[in-house]
């Protein structure tokens, strides 16, 4: 019986083995082994700089691909490509061809450079690295939970169960999500009020509080004044009476009223200032 051996069974045939360069294209993972061997053998100088530029140009598409993974995170793609290119230059300078393929070394180096850019440059408010990591884990968990069928806004407990974090850590991460970017004081609020900005909701120093403190500080000194001096100060500062009217009320001269007011105020002020340190210490 003759057997046809000119064809193979499709069920048992294996796909051809392809290299990473073949799968992604020569522009993304070029063969630069000879260039790297030449690069590491050269001393610092113009010729070595030329070879470095050739290596960077050859691998730049890969750096741009890595930068594209971080798009839509609040940074321009062109800026991300610049950061990735910087990581590529550092990878070229530090790579040792005897320790493996350049791509295996360059990808984590470039990715780390881009991640450091987000960590160190993109936060409007500086927070510890641990808090930044919590924020990223919470953000990804929220996205995954809301994308599930029928998924609503997840609670802190649900995020904690999904990430393995404690609820306290989840709340810390949620708080850090508001620190990545800031709002302008002129930003309009979504409250329905026309022309209402964030600045309109901020408070301002109230001078009345200082007045309350001064009045409380003066009370003890007022109580220690003679009755006539207390009455004169009451008429002058609470009834807005003129010095002539006060003088007529007490049968003294207007000049004497002026001296009594000045002397009484100076006494109260001196006693209040002398007692203030002791009061703070007691508090």
Residue 266 belongs to a domain with what CATH number? 1.10.10.10
Instruction: For residue 151, tell me if it sits in a domain.
Output: yes
Instruction: For residue 135, tell me if it sits in a domain.
Output: yes
Q: How many CA atoms lie within 13 A of 78 on its CB side?
A: 0
Instruction: For residue 277, tell me if it sits in a domain.
Output: yes
Task: Using the 3D structure, point to which of 121, 136, 169 is the last residue of a domain.
Answer: 121
56 contacts 92 by C-beta, under 8 angstroms: yes
Q: Are residues 78 and 146 in the same domain?
A: no
Number of neighbours of residue 265 by Cβ within 10 angstroms: 16
* pTM exceeding 0.85: no
Residue 146 belongs to a domain with what CATH number? 1.10.10
Burial label for 268, CB within 10 Å (0-12, 13-18, 19+), is buried
Q: Are residues 163 and 174 in the same domain?
A: yes
Q: Which of 112, 101, 113, 108 is nearest to 21 (CA)?
A: 101
Q: Are residues 41 and 90 in the same domain?
A: yes
Question: What is the tally of structural domains in the chain?
Answer: 3
| pLDDT for the residue numbered 248 | 93
Q: Which of 108, 93, 111, 176 is nearest to 142 (CA)?
A: 176
User: Can you give the residue range of the structural domain that contains 153?
Assistant: 124-182
Q: Are residues 93 and 160 in the same domain?
A: no
| pLDDT for the residue numbered 6 | 38
Instruction: For residue 3, tell me if it sits in a domain.
Output: no
CA 95 – CA 192 distance, rounded (Å): 58
Find the distance separating the first CA and the last CA of the chain, reported in whole Å: 110
| pLDDT for the residue numbered 218 | 84
Instruction: For residue 193, tell me if it sits in a domain.
Output: no
pLDDT tens per residue, the chain (283 residues)?
Answer: 333 333 333 333 333 333 344 344 445 678 888 999 899 898 889 999 999 999 999 999 999 999 999 887 767 889 899 999 999 999 999 999 988 899 999 999 999 999 888 777 766 566 677 887 888 888 888 888 888 776 678 888 988 998 898 989 988 888 777 666 666 677 676 655 566 777 777 777 777 777 788 888 888 888 889 999 999 999 998 899 999 999 999 999 999 999 999 999 999 888 888 865 544 434 3
Q: pLDDT (tens digit, 9 = 90+) per residue, 157-205?
A: 988 998 898 989 988 888 777 666 666 677 676 655 566 777 777 777 7
62 contacts 103 by C-beta, under 8 angstroms: yes
Instruction: For residue 128, tell me if it sits in a domain.
Output: yes
Instruction: For residue 191, tell me if it sits in a domain.
Output: no
* Angle of CA points 109, 113, 119, to nearest 5°: 140
| pLDDT for the residue numbered 193 | 56
């Amino acid at each position: 019986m003759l057997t046809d051996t000119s064809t193979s069974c499709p069920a048992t045939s294996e796909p051809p083995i392809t290299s990473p360069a073949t799968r992604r294209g020569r522009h993304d993972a070029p063969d630069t082994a000879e260039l790297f061997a030449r690069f590491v053998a050269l001393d610092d100088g113009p010729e070595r700089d030329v070879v470095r530029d050739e290596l960077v140009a050859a691998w730049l598409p890969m750096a741009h691909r890595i930068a594209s993974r971080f798009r839509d995170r609040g940074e321009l793609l062109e800026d991300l490509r610049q950061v990735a290119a910087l990581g590529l230059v550092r990878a070229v300078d530090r790579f040792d061809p005897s320790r493996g393929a350049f791509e295996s070394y360059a990808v984590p180096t470039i990715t780390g450079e881009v991640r450091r850019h987000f960590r160190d440059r993109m936060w409007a408010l500086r927070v510890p690295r641990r808090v930044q990591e919590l924020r990223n884990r919470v953000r990804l968990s929220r996205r995954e939970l809301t994308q599930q069928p029928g998924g609503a806004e997840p609670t802190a407990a649900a995020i904690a169960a999904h990430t393995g974090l404690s609820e306290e850590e989840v709340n810390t991460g949620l708080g850090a999500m508001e620190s990545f970017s800031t709002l302008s004081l002129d930003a309009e609020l979504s409250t329905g009020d026309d022309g209402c900005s964030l600045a309109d909701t901020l408070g301002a120093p109230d001078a009345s509080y200082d007045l309350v403190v001064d009045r409380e500080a003066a009370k003890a000194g007022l109580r220690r004044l003679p009755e006539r001096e207390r009455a004169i100060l009451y008429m002058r500062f609470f009834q807005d009476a003129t010095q002539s009217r006060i003088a007529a009320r007490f049968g003294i001269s207007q000049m004497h009223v002026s001296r009594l007011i000045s002397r009484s105020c100076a006494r109260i002020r001196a006693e209040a200032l002398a007692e203030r340190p002791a009061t703070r210490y007691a508090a």
